Amino acid sequence: MLHYTCDSCGRSIESERYVARVEVAPAFDPEDLTEEDLDDDHLEQVAESLLELESTGDFVLDECEPRKFRFDLCPRCWKKYLADPLGRDAARRLNFSKN
């Protein structure tokens, strides 16, 4: 029998195993950007959201290749993941503890 451990808490998973598959990819082609696009507010939004992603360390702007992640999760971490897929609570806690 295959043995799995939870990718989040590291505990071994007895029977109830959950799998999260995440694919992260740019939703635009950087080669296709024109000057008109650069004037566009929506590009600014894209840039902002990319910066946000970059600040969490999950996304590097230079790497425009789609990235795929796969996590095995125990039932407890699965529930936590569903409640906060982007780990925003954890990011907020980190920001607070910096000072």
Q: Give the footprint of Zn ion on this chain (CB under 5 A).
A: 6, 8-9, 74, 77
Nearer CB in complex with Zn ion: 7/43: 7
- Closest distance between Zn ion and the C-beta of residue 14, in Å? 11
d(CA 21, CA 4): 16
Nearest distance in Å: CB 73, Zn ion: 6
Contact 47, 38 (CB under 8 A): no
CB of 3 to Zn ion, least distance (A): 14
Q: Yes or no: say if 51 and 42 are a contact pair by the CB < 8 Å rule.
A: no
CA pair distance 50, 52, nearest whole angstrom:
5
Indicate the residue among 8 and 58 with the shorter CB distance to Zn ion: 8
